[in-house]
Amino acid sequence: MIIRRLSAFVLLATLAACATVPRQPTPLQVNGPVEVQILAINDFHGNLEPPQLTVPAASGAVPAGGAAYLASALKARRTANSVTVAAGDLIGASPISSALFLDEPTIMALGEAGLELAAVGNHEFDKGSAELKRIQHGGCAKFTNRIPCAIEPFAGARFTYLAANVVAADGQTLFPGTAIKQVGGVKIGFIGMTLKETATLVSPGGVAGLTFADEADTANAAVPALRKAGANAIVLLIHQGGSISGVYYDRGCAGLAGGILPILAKLDRSISLVVSGHSHNAYICRVPITGGGERLLTSAGKYGAMVTDIRLRFDRGVLVGDTADFVIVQGEPIDGPRLKAPLVAGFPIFPADPAVAAIVERYRAAAAPLANRAIGKLSGSVSKGEINEESAAAELISDGQYFVARVADKGRADFALMNNGGARTDLNPEADGTVRYGQIFAMQPFANNLVTKSYSGAEVKAVLEQQFASGADNEARANLMAPSANFAFAFDRSRPVGQRIVAMTLDGKPLDPTRTYRVTINNFLASGGDNFTALSVGRDATDGGLDLDATEAYLATNPVAPRLGRIKDLTPKGWVAPKR
């Protein structure tokens, strides 16, 4: 049963008319105890092949992930009364074997693995809402610069995306907002949504006409209809999350923080379980509810390395308890290189699911010739770092953008800027310095176009000030830009809003606030993405081609890896950011 959320006007009208509507079903009254299982994942990001990561455990670092092993783990753990769900970012920012094919193989693999419901995440919108609708419903219509159905016809997702807080201009949600699953004689109501800041995390043009509503308000508004439809329990699938200061297997959840907490504080107490994502953290926490009681909050990390196995216990239709545990997805590789880490005793070793393994191999083989192509050499490794740190990987990308766009027909750029979050992985050349196409694709998977625009020096400063004060960006957790090698800036986070950038230099000379400069950025930033709304005012735009092509062209010159130092933090020692 799927329920589509109405616009606020229609919802109020519907509630006002409830007196004339026949009484809805009450929750099922089943005899005796029933246990319902919910298997949950989040932030898979198209990792069809085993990602190069381990999950820390008391007995060792467990190599984990890979779609074929994830499917095997889900099928092995699944009980008779089970629902498999996800909390967003299943696609987007994906490795080449999925991204090159518009994440179609990931959708196919997750459907084969038994996924039933998924909240949309911000990365589901990376290529726009029209492409996301194609991902849900299938077909070969072309909405991007990549070719759909390149290997085989695409039938769409076998699971249902939920988007309760994604509202189109006509007042309807992009996908259904809620669903009810009847398992084991009880009804479980599900609400699915992304974080309200999604529009600032993707290219604005791709979400034009969509509104991303407040998460708690939307969830709470959906509760009455689910209860009237007979839901014995309500679960929120939300692409927003938190972090803990301890390890994931410490159920004390020390230092729990993040964007999920203010949402939890406002949620209707009828929502008894929250399956979260976005932060790429793993945790199972019990969070107090105002007025008494507690609510279970879970997240399974990232890339399909773990699954959360949640059990809800009912007695005569009433939820009387819940538990949750992690399943680490440890398995041998299908083919090709894998992380050189020994298998760890004490954790299951899952075989590759044959049907999913066939999908993975089909698309891995199709991508291999391009992925394995050598494109140049780099003098050393570059790290992506954290979003609030100087990133050598993002600076390498910025250097490539300037290298291409400095010529007249590509923009006549004076310098380039790159958002830290756009560099998704470290880049580690082979022993002789060789870099292959698959590596830069993993580092830079979004297929943005370069745009060179004109800004005054004062406007450039306004852009850089937004690193510390725009949307979710603040002085405590800045969203740093990565400049090309000929540009540098310094900041002091202790200064007032609008005065934190204390120096900007181009080729060693101070930027003139009245002079016009040509700045190369990607089209995501050019339209105000990542809260850099000041970039949207630029003038005289020139297209510079695909950003990945620029990185490839630059690496063909065998450059020296960037060294940190283009950004100077002059914040006084001992300064403490104000609490928010």
Mean pLDDT over 171-190 rounds to 97
The answer to whether the beta carbons of residues 299 and 258 sit under 8 Å apart is: no
Per-residue model confidence (pLDDT) at position 16: 33
Q: Over the stretch 193-234, which tens digit does the pLDDT of each residue have?
A: 999 999 888 888 889 999 999 999 999 999 999 999 999 999
The dihedral over CA atoms of 289, 295, 301, 307, expressed in degrees to the nearest 10, equals 180
Please spell the DSSP secondary structure of 452-475, one letter per residue: EEEEEHHHHHHHHHTTTEETTEES
Indicate whether 27 pLDDT > 70: no
Q: Which residue has the tokens 């006409």?
A: 209
Query: What pLDDT is recorded for position 290?
Result: 87
- Under 8 Å CB-to-CB from 28, ≥6 apart: which residues? 182, 185, 186, 187, 230, 232, 317
Altogether, the residues listed in the chain come to a count of 580
User: Across residues 314-320, what is the average pLDDT?
Assistant: 96
Give the DSSP H or E segment for 2: strand 2-3
Q: Is it the case that residue 408 has pLDDT exceeding 50?
A: yes
Q: Is the pLDDT of residue 439 over 80?
A: yes
Calculate the average pLDDT of the chain: 91
Which residues are CB-contacts of 222 (< 8 A; sequence separation ≥ 6)?
3, 5, 164, 177, 178, 191
**Residue 32 pLDDT level (bands cut at 50, 70, 90):** confident
Give the global pTM.
0.83
Choices 3.30.70.20, 2.40.50.180, 3.40.50.2000, 3.60.21.10: CATH for 26-365: 3.60.21.10
Q: Which of the two residues, 393 and 527, has the higher pLDDT score?
A: 393
Q: 418-439 burial, b if ≥16 CB within 10 A, otherwise e?
A: bbbbbbbbbbebeeeeebbbbb
Per-residue confidence (pLDDT) for residue 23, from 0 to 100: 42
Query: If you average pLDDT over residues 229-258, what whole number do you get?
Result: 93
- pLDDT band at residue 301 under the 50/70/90 scheme: very high
Nearest residue to 434 via CA among 371, 380, 382: 380
| CATH code for the structural domain at 373-569 | 3.90.780.10
Burial of residue 168 (CB within 10 Å: 0-12, 13-18, 19+) is middle
Q: Which residue shows structure tokens 């580092």? A: 443
Q: What is the 3 state secondary structure string of 254-283?
A: CCCECCHHHHHHHCCCCEEEEEECCCCCEE
- pLDDT tens-digit readout, 44-87: 999 999 988 889 988 888 989 999 999 999 999 999 999 999 99
Element housing 239 (H / E): strand 233-239
For residue 12, name the pLDDT band (cuts at 50, 70, 90): very low
- The 10s digit of each residue's pLDDT in 98-147 is 999 999 999 999 999 999 999 999 999 999 999 999 999 999 999 998 99
Q: What does the domain layout of the chain look like in residue ranges? A: 26-365, 373-569
Strands 82-86 and 33-41, how do they pair?
Answer: parallel
Supply the pLDDT for residue 336.
44
Structure confidence at residue 340 (pLDDT): 56
CATH topology match: 26-365 vs 373-569: no
- Residue 10 pLDDT class (50, 70, 90 cuts): very low
Pairing of strands 294-300, 306-315: unpaired
Mean pLDDT on 479-495:
97
pLDDT of residue 333: 54
Which has the minimum average pLDDT: 14-18, 272-276, 521-525?
Answer: 14-18
pLDDT of residue 241: 94
Whether the pLDDT of residue 21 is over 50: the answer is no
Percent of the chain at pLDDT > 90 equals: 78
